């Protein structure tokens, strides 16, 4: 690495991430524009995208996202890291094609392998497409049909395996859309039919890398791979090097960024923000110390697989929160100052009003 390459401090990376993730202040973008900028929003947990957009956008209402989903401008489907995300309908085709090999590789896991052993994947794909063509089914309904074609298997595993093979979307009605509770079932439809456009024929990793940097940069190759779930992206990034700026972090790791993307000011103020479980801002890098300390990451690690909603104080994760019908409970990871406590409670009050627009707000409790 050249001695002239600029080193970026952790606070510069933090403030830059907040700006790129629309968390420095609520912005006037539409939900569609925000989802496009973020490339894809994690949607593994019911209602997570609603809280994630509320944290980023001015005057966001739950119906704003629901109408996009009903209008097919935004889709919910399996994408990055083989998990469920929201993306613009126009982006889904190339994004799903880019991560298709990654998604399909999950079939080798014991969770699926025992149930599809001896089944030709192409045959499973053809059978599933025939059953879904022209209609939407609950995933369990699709599984029941598939098990008649492939007896002696688990209906649920067959349906999930088919979704790894073929690009599907989860259309409304779905409890995540506008409902506020737990998922009771997942409807599935063929993505090309739902969107009235074919899925892209070819992977577009160059596009994915550049879009990622716009929302998450500066970042290392390992960061891009951690966010996307893909491997062997070094060659893709190297191919873009002449068009990118190169920095390094405090440990000397090489970071890449778009040439005209601004960096954050280390002393810029950062508001308290409540983030849903698996939010992009926290999961977008392999080295997450720009937003959460190693100590706090280890603190939540035993619960992370189930999803941990978190809140930011001065731009960094300093606590978790949970919501029930009656309570919005916050658990700071360290003693907060009086000013920090007041700011956290104030933002929690706004969140309580958002999740309970009918006026039955949950009690706010700091543990």
3-state secondary structure of 189: strand
Give the pLDDT confidence score for residue 177 in this predicted structure: 45
Question: Read out DSSP for 13-58?
Answer: HHHHHHHHTT-SS-B---HHHHHHHHSSEE-SSTTHHHHHHHTTBT
Indicate whether 330 pLDDT > 80: yes
Query: What percent of the chain stands above pLDDT 90?
Result: 85
d(CA 95, CA 205): 9
Indicate whether 179 pLDDT > 70: no
Cα separations (Å) of 133 from 30, 103, 159, 244, 321? 33, 22, 15, 44, 42
Average pLDDT estimate for 222-241: 97
d(CA 228, CA 145): 32
Give the pLDDT confidence score for residue 1 in this predicted structure: 47
Question: How is residue 239 written in tokens?
Answer: 């191919």
Q: pLDDT digits over 42-85, tens only? A: 998 878 999 999 999 999 999 999 999 999 999 999 999 999 99
Tell me how crowded residue 331 is: count the other CB atoms within 10 A of its CB: 12
The tally of CA atoms less than 13 A away on the side-chain side of residue 28 is 0
Q: pLDDT digits over 92-123, tens only? A: 999 999 999 999 999 988 888 888 889 999 99
Which residue pairs from 124-131 have beta carbons closer than 8 angstroms and sit at least 24 positions apart in sequence?
A: 124/150, 124/158, 124/161, 124/162, 124/165, 125/162, 125/165, 125/166, 127/162, 128/159, 128/162, 128/165, 128/166, 129/166, 129/190
Q: pLDDT digits over 295-325, tens only? A: 999 999 877 666 899 999 999 999 999 998 8
Distance in Å from the first CA to the final CA of the chain: 47
Indicate whether 159 pLDDT > 80: yes
Q: pLDDT digits over 180-217, tens only? A: 555 568 999 999 999 999 999 899 999 999 999 999 99
- Bridge partners (DSSP) of residue 323 are 328
3-state secondary structure of 138: strand
Give the pLDDT band of residue 356 (cuts 50, 70, 90): confident
| pTM exceeds 0.85 | yes
Give the pLDDT confidence score for residue 114 in this predicted structure: 83
CA 4 to chain centroid, in Å, comes to: 35
Characterize the bridge pairing of strands 327-332 and 363-366. Answer: parallel
**Between 248 and 179, whose confidence is greater?**
248
Place of tokens 């599984």: 143
Residue count (the chain): 367
């Amino acid at each position: 690495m050249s001695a002239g390459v600029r080193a970026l401090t952790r606070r510069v990376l933090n403030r830059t991430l907040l700006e790129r993730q629309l968390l420095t202040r609520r912005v006037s973008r539409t939900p569609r524009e925000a989802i496009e900028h973020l490339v894809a929003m994690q949607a593994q947990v019911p209602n997570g995208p609603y809280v994630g957009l509320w944290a980023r956008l001015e005057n966001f209402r739950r119906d704003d996202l629901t109408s996009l989903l009903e209008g097919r401008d935004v889709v919910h489907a399996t994408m990055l890291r083989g998990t469920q995300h929201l993306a613009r309908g126009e982006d889904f085709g190339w994004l799903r094609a880019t991560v298709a090999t990654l998604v399909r590789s999950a079939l080798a896991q014991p969770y699926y392998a025992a149930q599809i052993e001896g089944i030709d994947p192409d045959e499973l794909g053809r059978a599933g497409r025939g059953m879904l063509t022209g209609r939407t089914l609950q995933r369990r309904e699709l599984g029941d049909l598939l098990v008649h074609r492939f007896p002696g298997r688990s209906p649920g595993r067959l349906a999930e395996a088919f979704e790894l093979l073929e690009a599907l979307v989860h259309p409304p009605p779905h409890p995540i859309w506008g409902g506020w509770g737990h998922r009771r079932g997942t409807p599935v439809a063929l993505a090309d039919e739902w969107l009235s456009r074919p899925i892209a024929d070819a992977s577009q990793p160059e596009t994915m890398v550049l879009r990622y940097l716009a929302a998450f940069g500066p970042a290392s190759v390992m960061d891009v791979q951690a966010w996307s779930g893909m491997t062997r992206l070094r060659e893709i990034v190297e191919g873009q090097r002449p068009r990118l700026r190169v920095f390094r972090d405090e440990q000397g790791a090489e970071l890449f960024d778009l040439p005209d993307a601004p960096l954050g000011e280390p002393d810029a103020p950062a508001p308290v923000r409540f983030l849903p479980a698996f939010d992009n801002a926290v999961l977008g890098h392999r080295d997450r110390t720009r937003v959460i300390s190693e100590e706090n990451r280890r603190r939540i690690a035993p619960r992370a697989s189930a999803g941990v909603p978190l809140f930011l104080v001065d731009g960094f994760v300093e606590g978790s929160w949970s919501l029930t019908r009656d309570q919005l409970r916050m658990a700071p990871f360290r003693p907060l100052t009086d000013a920090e406590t007041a700011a956290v409670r104030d933002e929690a009050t706004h969140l309580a009003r958002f999740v309970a627009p009918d006026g039955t707000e949950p009690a706010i409790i700091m543990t």
